[in-house]
A and B are shown apart, each in its own frame.
Chain A
Amino acid sequence: MAKHRIAIIAALALGIAACGGADAADSTASDPAGEVLVSAAASLTDAFADIEAAFEATHPKVDVILNLGGSSSLREQILEGAPVDVFASANASNVARVVDEGLVAGTPQVFARNLLQIAVPSGNPAGITGLEDFDREDLLIGLCAEAVPCGAFARQALENAQVTAAIDTNEPDVRALLTKIEAGELDAGITYVTDVASTGGGVDGIDVPIDVNAAAEYPIATLVDAPNPGAAAAFVAFVISDEGRSILESHGFGTP
């Protein structure tokens, strides 16, 4: 498990080396400094941008670097040795793999919850009413790929609703899916409530009934090999603090 993601790791390492700033060696949880690399699920893009800004405002010596992507890609980068400090995943299984490899410091904590919602282009031109429409061959339907949490949860919800979806594309992450729905190129897809909210009206959301909905739990963990463990601990503490929680809630997440 070591070599073929080297390009990504090298790119991340170069990114860190190029940024400079305060020295991580002097960084502690009570007085963090330097850079902290946070790998976060794509569905956290907007919420973590706000959390980054708020955290840096109270911790001026710290520079948070967000590495956003599909949770499974982020997991692979960590397993291949990327110098990541904090991992915030959109499901438990990706973090569990990292725990199994002995790479997580302490215990991952659930910091947010998310529900699935059907996303349709603004105005719902295809007249989608619910998951039952997902078996229609005449519609263009997209899901996240099965390896990505939003894809796994979507399939679970479809199974719960006993619908065999006529899928036209399996997108690599939730943002790629959302972009194609917002552009009107797909008639419907299954994303998170928070993703629908993030487009500010670019897509319309249709609720998935709670009895078939699959709720995503987002765990956050600091990593054993974190280059900046002090700042990593401070960042995690901030995410689960009242302030972090209210930022997450303002983006539509549920919090524990």
Chain B
Amino acid sequence: MSISTPERRRVRSRPPVFLVILGILGLAIFVIPFVGLLARVPWSDLPELLTSDIVVDALRLSLLTSIAATALAAVLGVPLAWLMARVEFPGRAIVRGIVTLPLVLPPVVGGAALLFALGRRGLVGEPLYEATGLVLPFSTWGVVIASTFVAMPFLVITVEGALRNLDQRYEGAASTLGASKWTVLRRVTLPMIGPSLLAGLVLTWARAFGEFGATITFAGNLQGRTQTMPLAVFVALESDRDTAVAISLVMVVVSLVVLIALRERWWKAL
């Protein structure tokens, strides 16, 4: 102990130089684009740009749809993760693959797939339209569905991983003591995976907030109805550069604040 302690301390105080250099380069890849963005921000016109109808509508819609998508992902994704972690069923490996597919697929492919499945002439969309008159594309619900499609994998993967690593003896003890399955889930399982669940929810929200490709392909682009912040940036880049930069700045700030604030909370929770 008396020998190893100072040794360990020295190692900790001096990280290998090449790791530091590569690490800083790695950080630079994230930082440099944002510095470039900041350099373009028209600071004096910012208040005016950010209170324009387009920006206000887009921010409202983005917050609404990203939160709705996160809620939908929680309601559907947690049970799915539980089934994948706890129930042996044939084709579980295939299900895992399908669930992670939206992570690697170009979102525009996801959007096209959604259009062909849930559109007014789609496989599921057509009977739905004929029965209820509901049209998902070009509606705010379409944005929520597209965002859920691309973002829910983050929740499912995080929660499934946490459930699989969970020591099941606690749940066993609770049911031995007479707790119902629902009580065990609510009072033991969910609290124990709490930090992972929160992490999954935050990642899901962040992905939904930044969603572009599936949304424009499936839900279209109309101010106030389907034009979220990323779509507004895309349209403004070609017609009004200052507005595009201003919206980008808002997206960076909102995302960063949420990610940093919640990250602090997980660490405290752990």
Chain A positions near chain B (C-beta within 8 angstroms): 3-4, 70, 72-73, 75-76, 140, 142, 145-148, 167-172, 176, 180, 183-186
Contacts and interface: CB of A to CB of B under 8 A. Distances in A.
Contacts of A184: 119-121
B253 interface: no
Contacts of A76: 237-238
10 contacts: A4-B40, A72-B238, A76-B237, A140-B137, A146-B239, A167-B222, A168-B225, A170-B235, A172-B235, A183-B121
B220 A169 contact: yes
B238 A185 contact: no
Interface string B185-200: 0000000000000000
B27 to A, nearest CB: 19
A94 to B, nearest CB: 10
B238 A169 contact: no
A170 B36 contact: no
Interface in B164-198: none
A168 B239 contact: no
A184 B235 CA distance: 24
Contact of A180 (B37, B40, B220, B226): B220
Contacts of A170: 220-222, 235
B205 interface: no
Contacts of B214: none
Contacts of B119: 183-185
A9 to B, nearest CB: 13
B32 to A, nearest CB: 10
Interface residues of B, number: 25
Nearest to A187: B120
Contacts of B149: none
Contact of B221 (A75, A172, A183, A186): A172
Contacts of A73: 238
A172 B138 contact: no
A138 B135 CA distance: 11
Contacts of A3: 36, 39-40
Nearest to B239: A147
Contacts of A4: 33, 36-37, 40
Given A148-B238, A176-B216, A186-B138, 15 more contacts: A3-B40, A4-B37, A70-B238, A140-B137, A140-B138, A145-B238, A168-B225, A169-B138, A170-B222, A183-B115, A183-B116, A184-B121, A185-B119, A185-B120, A185-B138
A255 B40 CA distance: 42
A145 to B, nearest CB: 6
A73 B235 CA distance: 10
A4 B119 CA distance: 35
A183 B234 CA distance: 24
A184 B121 CA distance: 6
A169 B115 contact: no
Contacts of B39: 3
Contacts of A140: 120, 135, 137-138
Contacts of B33: 4
B220 A142 contact: yes
Top 8 nearest A-B pairs (CB, nearest first) are A169-B220, A184-B121, A72-B238, A147-B239, A147-B238, A168-B138, A185-B119, A3-B36
A75 B44 CA distance: 27
